[in-house]
Structure 1
Amino acid sequence: MVLKVITLAALVAAALAHPENIPSYRYGAPTPSSGPAKYDFNYSVNDPPSGNDFGHQEARDGPNTQGSYYVLLPDGRLQKVAYTVNGDSGYVADVTYEGEAQYPSTPRPYTPAPQKA
């Protein structure tokens, strides 16, 4: 019975302690800041020791976007994706591969990266 009284007292104290003048934070849909989006960017990474070779390019003008990206796959092929988005048409991609898949006759042993002190 004592536990019920203590619990009820704690709930009443918590309810009374909540200030009524705190604003509620509700977020609506974002509003455009200064018109339609317009940008152009690109990047690429080519690090032969690690085998990393990839990049991305994209340009947007309002509802129209076009771009491409590529990545060197572990089997030696280069995967390229060219895409467009025109308004509400959705994402339309054209995926191509360059080179032939090559697999070693014996797997390469795992070599952990050197530890930094």
Structure 2
Amino acid sequence: MGAKLTVIENRSNNDMEIRVWVPPARPDKFQRIMRIEAKGWKEINSKNFSFGNLSPDEGFMSTLLMIYVDGVYTGNYFLPTHLRKYAKVICDINEEGHYVIQGIKPTFDFCRFKF
């Protein structure tokens, strides 16, 4: 069984939350939170972006990932369809203090075996 993974690396000095939000719900009614510590990283499985009876592909189309730092929305978001293109997404802060999101590599399949 294979699973699509994306590595998200937080190179900033602030802890970051990525909240999964499914329209038409209000942005404060998020489905899931992924926390990434400052200078840390996390492997995110594509199944984290599908909900209810939606398949992963349908879930990707109707899901937003909103970035919060210290509990405050940064104004940055990206679609999981963009995440599927990268095996590594780097989140950093530029000189003006704005979050910068940069994709690095194409996606990869990671296989796990269950016994």
Structure 2 length-normalised TM: 0.28
Q: Which structure's residues are more often strand, by fraction?
A: 2
Instruction: State the TM-score, normalizing by the size of structure 1.
Output: 0.28
Higher relative contact order (CA 8 A, sep 6+): 2
Structure of greater Rg: 1
